[in-house]
Amino acid sequence: MKPENVERISPETLSHLIEKATPIQIVDIRNDEAYGNSDKKITGSIRATFETLDDIMNKLNKDIDVITYCT
């Protein structure tokens, strides 16, 4: 992925995409502490950390957008 292909979206935009059932992949890359202490988790998101991100890259569908979020 080239940096010029990466854009930032708001939580509201993400919520809208989810509500519209837009084909997206969501990767939660919050650190273990932030993830464990949060009661907010997006159903269907893929859990990864910065250390395991490379491991899941090959499992992602290259034909649809990937949205990552962290703290």
Domain ranges of the chain: 3-69
Confidence (pLDDT) at 53: 87
Confidence (pLDDT) at 17 = 95
Cβ contacts of 34 within 8 Å, gap of 6 or more: 70, 71
Q: For 3-69, which CATH superfamily applies?
A: Rhodanese-like domain (3.40.250.10)
Question: Within 13 Å, how many C-alpha atoms sit on residue 30's CB side?
Answer: 17
| pLDDT, tens digit, 9 for 90 and up, residues 23-69 | 999 999 999 999 999 999 999 999 998 888 889 988 899 999 999 98
CA distance 65 to 71: 20
